[in-house]
Structure 1
Amino acid sequence: MLENQTTYSKMIRFLELFQLNDTDEAGTIESVRKGVEFKGTNLWTLIFAIFIASIGLNVNSTAVIIGAMLISPLMGPIVGAGFAVGTNDFDFLKRCLRNLGIATLVSIITSTVYFSITPINEAQSELLARTTPTIFDVLIALFGGATGIIANTRKEKGTAIAGVAIATALMPPLCTAGYGLAQGNWSFFLGAFYLYFINSVFIAIATFIFVRYLNFRKVDWGLYKDKEAKVRIYLIVFALITILPSIYTAWKIVQSSLFKSRANLFISHHFDSPKTKIIEKNIISEGKKKIELTLIGAKISEENLKNIKNKLPQYKLEEAELNILQDLSSPNVESLKYEILSEVYKNTNTTEERQLEQLRKELKILFPELTSFSLTESKEFRSEENKYENFHLFLTHWSKNPQEREKEKLRLFIETRMGFEKVKMMIE
């Protein structure tokens, strides 16, 4: 009997660790009501934060996006809506929803204006990440909202609220929705706005749950008290309707990830060998599933390929079509060679441009009267030797004609600096 009482006491002490004491009800109500208003300072802060977040998405800067989320006041009316439902204050709920609507509209207009005038139209990875919401975003919003309301109800607020603002990511989806409108891309707009919507809904739901758990004072409905149960049912149904599309999206992402993982395992087991090199790999997990490989090295016989294809079901890849390209005379391989050479040429040109830019800076210091120059590679036919000789032609423009000694000094400098064997200089 004594042993049972000791065990029970230990359980009680353990459960007491999870109790939320020191609730500042008056301070929480004041803080929530203050954060709901969107006029003056709050409205201008929101506009500037949207501009900052849009620029961060545009230039793919995570640091800038995080900074915008930290200064954004967008979470105020969302937390206020959950707080209002939790305390049965539906007059306050109307105010929260009205202000949230204004904030959302202003945010989308601001981001649309920015993405309409920016010269960078390409969608960066930070922007693309906000177009496909999943169940994981729902969980982040739910746990983030719970953290936010718990932190908000403490007398010592701490830094949790700032972390919640970053984790739940309300700003980037709105900016991405603005990008979708500016580019006329409705799939971007709808995907991003849906992410913003589910974030908002589940932050509000988490707030509602903890407001009820902490037993905040409710507004008395009087004769309409029986409708409180109906409101809870409506809230649950609304949450389920909101969450279903994100569950489907998450399921598709998980299935795609599993297919790619199995495909890579299959490839490593059957095609990764010292005699064979994979120069191109393409795994298609959407629609008709395919595994496409381009190989060089020892050619795999048709019989061996057939045996390898028969092993696809062992990796749960029976639906996948396996395409192996080994013929080096194939047009696809020629195309691949062209792409590789183009990339090499592009990288070479980029390196040369950097060298010329550095050369320009150095010449500006060493030869200030040299106003412009061009450097080209050329050939000279020498008839007495019956052969061509390579050289670099250095064409220059000067603000004042240089002396012969200065010209020779410049020519030798170019040969040494650029590593050329022969440079001929001309003055225009």
Structure 2
Amino acid sequence: MEILNKFGRFMRLIVRLKGGTDAEGTIKNITKNVKLRGVNVWMMVCSATLTCIGLDVNSTAVIIGGMLISPLMSPILGVGLGVAIQDRRLLINALKSFGLATFLSLLTGFLYFFISPLGDATTEINARVTPTFLDVGVAFFGGVAGIVAGSRRDKTNAIPGVAIATALMPPICVAGFGLAKMSSTVFLGAFYLYFINSFFISLATYLISVMLRLPKREQIDDEQYTNVKRFIIGFAIIVTIPSALIFYDVLDKLRFDKGVKNFVSTEVRTDNRRPIQTEVVDSTDPKTLKIYTVGLAVSDEEKRNLEDKLSKYGIGGLQLKLVQLNVSPDEFERLTSDVQTNLSNKLNLLQNVEDDQKKTIEVLKAQIVDIKDNSQPDKSFLNDVKWLFPEIADVIWQEATTDTPEHTSNQFKTLAVAFKEGVEPTTKNLIESRIVRLAQSRFADMRFNVVEKTELPRQEVEKIVSQEQINANTNQPQQP
């Protein structure tokens, strides 16, 4: 028991914060730097501009430079300190300065990315649109380090590290990028990251200031103090929930990617087969896991066994597609890195070509139908035949055939005719011969034949043209 007591006293001595605390100096220093005026405004605009340039050119060093000169940390510390020591004036000034700093940074980011000739979403930009629960931890412990370092009589060099770790400036500049590109997803994600960073730095400042028992400027009763604590706790929980949900989605995606990787390396890879590229196609339903392999081909039975093992790795429900390349593993090993890169690019190109071919086939099918419908002679000829010969009930073109081999260059067109009841055979023969002569006079480059049908299928292409067209052509044809 005595050992535990000694260990407890030893730990309290190690983690003790009060020793070396400059309470009045801390309050005075933060209060003095809270107001955003003059030089601080210029530093804020320069910091935002540098950060925007770093984000635009994907330069981490430039982004860090922009964060180091940012005066944004002081108003955020002032908010937490103002609540902790119950200084209403400090709290109001800190909130005003924080709002002005946010507006200036957002405006600078918007203007920069609006006129930037680059303006693409770089890796640094994309890294700040999906805040997670881990960002809450970064902001909180960064705030703890900031207020602890700022409260010492002997100042340390921790403040620059805090500015880099908490990364306040990049998220608000990315929010400006989202506004400039009219992307609500980028704007909301980046602004939410900026907000949780600011809030949890202030929360850490509040908690450490309470622990240090910094002198209060005003006294409030216990009921008001309890309400303030409840509000802070409730608001912190509400702010944290979205980041926890996003963090869960990130973990779920990481588990999925890990399952795919383990499946490919354990089940697909063998001594005689090597997977060289894996991709998940989200556009299909269900999603497709496409694996490109070299070496021994996968049999149908082996593929079925692989599909049954997908659920074992937490990726059940995926459709498995294996693409076999005609290259042995040894040959693939001998390929240079440039060739491998070109091969991967060609695989992607082939996939795009395959998709384009499918679309082209559908278009060509539709065009073939149109060409087939329009490849027959003038369809108005059918209406003329029915107008000239009232004895005919219906007439259509049949499929074209070719003549004997020695006349394959001449195409035969067959006209199927259905006569009305009561028409004499001699009259039918006379009408058929007249139709042939009429067709040959109109279409000199084709040969024609007329056959009699008792019943004819009615197709859309043989519908009678409108009455206006018939009337317009009434005086055109003449009986031969």
Structure 2 match to 1:299: 297
Contact 2:178–2:184 (Cα < 8 Å) also in 1: yes
Structure 2 match to 1:54: 52
2:255 to 255, 258, 265: 258
Structure 2 match to 1:144: 142
CA RMSD of aligned residues (A): 2.4
Deviation at 1:284, TM superposition (A): 5.8
Structure 2 match to 1:358: none
Counterpart CA distance in 2 for 1:7 and 1:167 is 36
Structure 1 match to 2:115: 117
Secondary structure class of the residue paired with 2:275: strand
CA distances 1:361-396 after superposition (whole Å, capped 9, x unpaired): xxxxxxxxxxxxxxxxxxxxxxxxxxxxxxxxxxxx
Letter in 1 for 2:248: W
Deviation at 1:140, TM superposition (A): 0.3
Contact 2:70–2:169 (Cα < 8 Å) also in 1: yes
Q: Which runs of 5+ in 2 are unaligned?
A: 327-342, 353-480
Deviation at 1:327, TM superposition (A): 7.8
Secondary structure class of the residue paired with 1:133: coil
CA separation of 1:15/1:190 partners in 2, compared to 1, >3 Å: closer, same or farther? same
2:191 aligned with 1:193:
yes
CA separation of 1:203/1:284 partners in 2, compared to 1, >3 Å: closer, same or farther? farther
Structure 2 match to 1:13: 10
Counterpart CA distance in 1 for 2:286 and 2:204 is 40
Structure 2 match to 1:134: 132
Contact 1:260–1:283 (Cα < 8 Å) also in 2: no
Contact 2:86–2:218 (Cα < 8 Å) also in 1: yes
Secondary structure class of the residue paired with 1:264: helix
Structure 1 match to 2:226: 229
Letter in 2 for 1:283: V
CA separation of 1:13/1:280 partners in 2, compared to 1, >3 Å: closer, same or farther? closer
Structure 2 match to 1:417: none
Counterpart CA distance in 2 for 1:290 and 1:230 is 53
2:268 aligned with 1:271:
yes
Secondary structure class of the residue paired with 1:158: coil
Matches within 5 A, 1:229-378: 229-283=226-280, 289-326=287-324, 336-337=346-347, 339=349
CA separation of 1:326/1:235 partners in 2, compared to 1, >3 Å: closer, same or farther? same
CA separation of 1:283/1:35 partners in 2, compared to 1, >3 Å: closer, same or farther? farther
CA separation of 1:338/1:198 partners in 2, compared to 1, >3 Å: closer, same or farther? closer
Q: Which runs of 5+ in 1 are unaligned?
A: 343-428
CA separation of 1:219/1:285 partners in 2, compared to 1, >3 Å: closer, same or farther? farther
Counterpart CA distance in 2 for 1:247 and 1:78 is 23
Structure 2 match to 1:172: 170
Deviation at 1:337, TM superposition (A): 4.7
CA separation of 1:324/1:27 partners in 2, compared to 1, >3 Å: closer, same or farther? same
Counterpart CA distance in 2 for 1:16 and 1:101 is 40
Contact 2:85–2:218 (Cα < 8 Å) also in 1: no
Structure 2 match to 1:157: 155
Letter in 1 for 2:49: F
Counterpart CA distance in 2 for 1:29 and 1:16 is 25
* Number of equivalences: 334
Quick check: which has more Rg, 1 or 2? Answer: 2
Counterpart CA distance in 1 for 2:200 and 2:229 is 14
Contact 2:264–2:275 (Cα < 8 Å) also in 1: no
Counterpart CA distance in 2 for 1:334 and 1:6 is 65
Deviation at 1:186, TM superposition (A): 1.2
Contact 1:32–1:76 (Cα < 8 Å) also in 2: yes
Deviation at 1:103, TM superposition (A): 0.5
Structure 2 match to 1:422: none
Contact 1:180–1:189 (Cα < 8 Å) also in 2: yes
Secondary structure class of the residue paired with 1:326: strand
Identity %: 37
Counterpart CA distance in 2 for 1:179 and 1:334 is 32
Contact 2:48–2:105 (Cα < 8 Å) also in 1: yes
CA separation of 1:337/1:25 partners in 2, compared to 1, >3 Å: closer, same or farther? closer
Counterpart CA distance in 1 for 2:241 and 2:344 is 47
Deviation at 1:324, TM superposition (A): 2.0
Counterpart CA distance in 1 for 2:105 and 2:196 is 17
Deviation at 1:338, TM superposition (A): 7.5
Matches within 5 A, 1:38-77: 38-77=36-75
Secondary structure class of the residue paired with 2:100: helix
Letter in 2 for 1:259: F
CA separation of 1:164/1:245 partners in 2, compared to 1, >3 Å: closer, same or farther? same
Deviates most, 78-87 or 293-302: 293-302
Deviation at 1:334, TM superposition (A): 12
CA separation of 1:73/1:285 partners in 2, compared to 1, >3 Å: closer, same or farther? farther
Contact 1:131–1:191 (Cα < 8 Å) also in 2: yes
Counterpart CA distance in 1 for 2:344 and 2:8 is 72
Contact 2:289–2:321 (Cα < 8 Å) also in 1: yes
Counterpart CA distance in 2 for 1:295 and 1:192 is 40
Deviation at 1:320, TM superposition (A): 3.0
CA separation of 1:334/1:212 partners in 2, compared to 1, >3 Å: closer, same or farther? closer
